[in-house]
Amino acid sequence: MTIRKNILITGASSGLGEGMARQFAARGRNLALCARRTDRLEKLAAELTAAHPGIKVVTRKLDVTDHDSVFTVFEEFRAELGSLDRVIVNAGLGKGQPVGKGRFDANRQTLEVNFVAAAAQIEAAAGIFREQGAGHLAVVSSFSAIRGLPGNLTAYAASKAGISAFVDGTRLELKRKGITVTDVRPGYIESEMNDRIGRNPLLAKAESGARALVKAIEAEGRRAYVPAWPWVPLSVAMRVVPASILRRFA
C-alpha cells in the first residue's frame, strides 16, 4: 500500500474533517487543513502537533465557494509541504428545504457548495496530481447519492448524486495518469451537519465514524460506504425500496 504522507483536507475545522485530521495525525501524516473558521483550525493544528511532534500541520482560511481561492490555497499547500499526496474534498453543506416552499436560496446554496465548489476542489487537486504524475483524490459524497429523496433532502441528495457522477468521470479520466480516485459515501456519523437527526440507531459515534472514513480512504477503492455496516447492505436495499417508503422522508 502506498503511504500518502502529505494530506490536504477541506472543511477541517469541525465534524468529519476534524475527525479525519485527528486520525491521520495519529498515523504520522503531515496535514494541510483549510476551512472558513481559522480560529478552530489553528487550535486543532496546535493540538495535533503537540500530540504528534513528528508531523507538520499547516492551515489556511478557505471558503470553497470562492473558486479562485481554492486553486490558490491548494498550490500554497503544495509549495509549503513540497507535494500533495492525497486531497480529501470534504467541505459540504446540508441546508436543503422542500421544493416550491419559497426557499430556493437554501437549495441553491446546498447545490453550489456540494456540487460546484466540490468540482472546483476536484479540478484544483487533479491539476496538481497531473503535474506530479501521482496522487489520491478522495471525495466525501453521501449515502444519499443513491436515489432522489423528498423534503429537506431533495437538493442535498441531488448535489451528492451529481458530485458522485463527476467523481466517476474523473476516475476514468485520471486512471491512466497514475492517479487514484475514491467516492466516499458516509451514512450517518455524528457531526454538526447531523445534529438535526437526534437519536438514531444508525448514527455512528464521531470517533468510530472518523476511523471508518480513514480506513476506507486508505484502502483507495473506487467507492466506499462508511461505516461498512450497515451502509453497504443498506445501499443495496436503497436501490429497490418502493417510492412509498421514500416519501416518509418528507
Q: What is the DSSP letter of 226?
A: E
Cα separation, 25 vs 29, in Å, equals 5
Nearest to 71 by CA among 168, 79, 42, 184: 79
129, 156, 188, 231: which is the annotated catalytic residue?
156
Peptide bond into 230 cis (omega under 30): yes
Is 156 marked active-site?
A: yes
Cα separation, 238 vs 147, in Å, equals 8
H or E segment and range at residue 138:
strand 135-140
* Length of the chain in terms of residues written: 250
30-35: strand order across its sheet? 57-61, 30-35, 6-10, 86-89, 135-140, 179-186, 223-226
CA torsion 53→227→135→58, rounded to 10°?
-30
Residues labelled catalytic:
156
